[in-house]
Amino acid sequence: MSYYDYSCRYKNGEGSNAAAFGNDDVERALAGEDPSPLDFWALLSPAAEDYLERMAKKAQEITLRHFGRTIQLYAPIYVSDYCDNQCLYCSFSARNRGPRKKLSLDEVEREASFMVEAGLRQILLLTGESKKESPLYYLRDCVRILRRYFSSIAIEVYPLAVEDYKSLIADGVDGLTVYQETYDEEIYKSVHPAGPKRNFRFRLETPERGAKAGMRQVNIGALLGLADWRREVFYLGMHARYLQDRFPDVEIGASVPRLRPHAGAFQSMYAVTDRNIVQIILALRLFMPRLSIALSTRENSRFRDCLIPLGITRMSAGSATSVGGYTSPLSNDKALSQFEIADHRSIPEVMDVIRRKGYEPVLNDWIFGI
Amino acid sequence: MKEDSLEIGGVKINCRLFVGTGKFPSHQMMQEVLLAAEAGVTTVALRRVDSGAKADNILDYIPSGCKVMINTSGARTADEAVRIARLARAAGAGNWIKIEVIADNRYLLPDNLETLKATETLVKEGFVVFPYMSPDLSVARRLAECGAAAVMPLGAPIGSNRGLKTKELVAIMIREIKAPIIVDAGLGKPSDACVCMEMGCAAVLVNTAIAVSRNPVDYARAFSQAVQAGRLAYLSGLAESVDEARASSPLTGFLHNED
């Protein structure tokens, strides 16, 4: 049974109404060592908003025990922004006219070399979804270059089949990132009006295909702002738990990016405040003590710094979100950025802040080729 | 106290507190802790060693008197552990290897079968092997028979700080296994370490409890002293503990009157 079928059992369950929870439910969820799905719902409910400080103390203690005083650092490398999808919230949408770019392998090497000089050893390779412009063999060529520079390579590309993931793993990929964007199938269809991404189920089952293929880490996420965030995060947490139970040797991670301004000007219908993000991170931590939680440069520096001691374990830093964004100044002006960066600090600046918070920035946490 | 060093693989280890290097807020802090505890051995995860790094190589912070044992953290199978060990030796990090094979991210419990396989291979290749395992007498026997330098049962799951939850099983291992028994993982308080040493463990390995303590240096010192106290007590022969008070006038005392 895939997560698609598994998650159906919660669609109309007793926990479907977050407003129905009271203080007793939150207290019970906070008292236990191993919160149930219902407890997780309670921690995401409006009632839990009065318990953020207590949740934070517990989340911090759990995070310290499992991850210590460390924060992993990574950065994205965008190699192509050609895309056949029409996601309403994304700059790479095929509807957005304008120049597109795909890096040559020499350019990939230049970007890699730049990032290594900056100190990075863990990287996330990204493309838009275009089987014509960025087919599997192009990704494999990119990976064969990147592996000369990085100890850990994760990919955030279009969903692939198990066999395709196996071939990328053989080339050196060890992590898969794929966000469901929204777990609400109706809303999913409305914000993905055309293109291969419209297939909700195929995307939802992508993380388990990656885990089956042998990925060491699988990161999932919901793009907050597309639907009611409490329900979204509940399904995200359950997805993480589902993956952890079925693939115990895979490190499961989650992200909760918020919609940011971008070309195309899609306006979020569901606001997600800073306070909400804090509640989300704390609830995820209490529900999944060993979950790796990433925070990107979509969030501003002040907010990111405050979240360091609360349960996040990974941060991107010094990021460029356009194709060739590190080494091609021209493309910086003309090229599309997938999202607006709110934290523009360099890697050394972010490392410095992490240290001042009493944490160690970790640049290297895997051995290539194991 | 007369000299009481632990000899493993031809190396004399004077301090029976081993300290792991993960989870510390900085390399400097880790170094201060190793010095304060006078740790005899320290474990370093190869995954955290960036040999290409221009600065801040974790190995540069290990005090000279502290023996480095590379651990195979991140290995999910025997093959992965073996590859990590070989890479470590090739990178000049020595041949002392703590085998840690974990295929369960929820509880972080070791896979004893894969650990045994990796131990067999690495001992044959000349490594000094310290397998981390779930306490199980028959697996411990086989680890010792195939040449493990010590056997390292867990006290409780990694990072749990729950103490020596596996006490009965560890006690059996100490009685039955000739190789040194080193309790690794789960010890949260210095008193936990002291208990292990009183029982006859050869050493203990502590990481999380020290690394995330509010004052890691002092906490490490406290662990170090507890380990010494426990060892001294063990060597002195522990006083027998009894459940009931001994009556000064025994109930069967009248029988002596017959003599």
Helix (H, G, I), strand (E, B) or coil at B200: coil
pLDDT at residue A43, rounded to an integer:
96
Query: What angle do helix axes B167-176 and B190-199 make, rounded to 10 degrees?
Result: 30
pLDDT tier, A270 (very low <50, low <70, confident <90, very high otherwise): confident
Interface check for B87 against chain A (CB to CB < 8 A): the answer is: yes
pLDDT at residue A89, rounded to an integer:
80
Shortest distance, CA A361 to any CA of chain B (angstroms): 8
Alpha-carbon distance B160 to B49, whole Å? 25
pLDDT at residue A365, rounded to an integer:
84
Residue A314 has pLDDT above 70, yes or no: yes
Helix (H, G, I), strand (E, B) or coil at A181: strand
Shortest distance, CA A94 to any CA of chain B (angstroms): 39
CB–CB contact A370 B75 (8 Å)? yes
Residue A262 has pLDDT above 60, yes or no: no
- Among A111-120, A324-333, B82-91, where is mean pLDDT lowest? A324-333
Interface check for A249 against chain B (CB to CB < 8 A): the answer is: yes
Chain A residue whose CA is closest to B79: A370
- What ipTM score was computed for the predicted complex, to two decimals? 0.82
| Average pLDDT value for residue range A13-23 | 73
Residue B65 has pLDDT above 70, yes or no: yes
Alpha-carbon distance A345 to A227, whole Å? 31
B188 vs A contacts (CB less than 8 Å): none
Interface check for A348 against chain B (CB to CB < 8 A): the answer is: no
Per DSSP, A335 falls in state S
Residue B189 is among the residues annotated as catalytic for this protein: no
Residue A180 in contact with residue A222, Cβ under 8 Å?
yes
Residue A269 vs residue A115, higher pLDDT: A115
Task: Reduce the secondary structure of B10-40 to three states and give it as a string.
Answer: CEEECCCEEEECCCCCCHHHHHHHHHHHCCC
The position carrying tokens 């914000």 is A191
The position carrying tokens 């979804």 is A129
Alpha-carbon distance B56 to A223, whole Å? 36
Interface check for A356 against chain B (CB to CB < 8 A): the answer is: no
Residue A250 in contact with residue A243, Cβ under 8 Å?
yes
| Average pLDDT value for residue range A217-231 | 93
Shortest distance, CA A154 to any CA of chain B (angstroms): 16
B84 vs A contacts (CB less than 8 Å): 367, 370
Above pLDDT 90, what percent of chain B? Answer: 63
Residue B72 in contact with residue B81, Cβ under 8 Å?
yes
B24 vs A contacts (CB less than 8 Å): 68-70, 360
Residue B152 in contact with residue B132, Cβ under 8 Å?
yes
Residue A92 has pLDDT above 60, yes or no: yes
Residue B193 in contact with residue B226, Cβ under 8 Å?
yes
Residue A184 in contact with residue A231, Cβ under 8 Å?
yes
Residue A326 in contact with residue A320, Cβ under 8 Å?
yes
Per DSSP, B247 falls in state P
CB–CB contact B208 A65 (8 Å)? yes
Residue pLDDT, tens place only, A114-168: 888 888 899 999 998 888 888 999 999 999 999 999 999 999 999 999 999 999 9
Burial code of A129-162, b = ≥16 C-beta within 10 A, e = fewer?
A: bbeebbebebbbebbebbbebbbbbbbbbbbbee
Which residue in the list B98, B117, B165, B167 is annotated as catalytic?
B98
pLDDT at residue A284, rounded to an integer:
97
Above pLDDT 90, what percent of chain A? Answer: 57
Alpha-carbon distance A10 to A234, whole Å? 10
The position carrying tokens 């004893």 is B112
Among B26, B74, B105, beta carbon nearest to A290: B105
pLDDT at residue A334, rounded to an integer:
59
For residue A270, give both structure tokens. Answer: 């569901």
pLDDT at residue B247, rounded to an integer:
65
Chain B residue whose CA is closest to A354: B25
Residue pLDDT, tens place only, A159-207: 999 999 999 999 999 999 999 999 998 999 998 888 888 899 999 999 9
Residue A243 has pLDDT above 90, yes or no: yes
Residue B125 has pLDDT above 90, yes or no: yes
Average pLDDT over chain B, rounded to whole?
Answer: 89
The position carrying tokens 């025990």 is A65
For residue A334, give both structure tokens. Answer: 């003309």
Distance of CA B49 to the CA centre of its chain: 21
Helix (H, G, I), strand (E, B) or coil at A360: strand
Interface check for B52 against chain A (CB to CB < 8 A): the answer is: yes
Interface check for A250 against chain B (CB to CB < 8 A): the answer is: yes
Task: Among A62, A355, A367, A368, pick the best mutation site for testing chain B contact (most B Cβ within 10 A).
Answer: A367
Residue A367 has pLDDT above 90, yes or no: no
- For A184-204, the DSSP string reads -HHHHHHH--SSGGG-HHHHH
Among A248, A364, A369, beta carbon nearest to B48: A364
Helix (H, G, I), strand (E, B) or coil at A164: helix
Residue pLDDT, tens place only, B160-169: 889 899 999 9
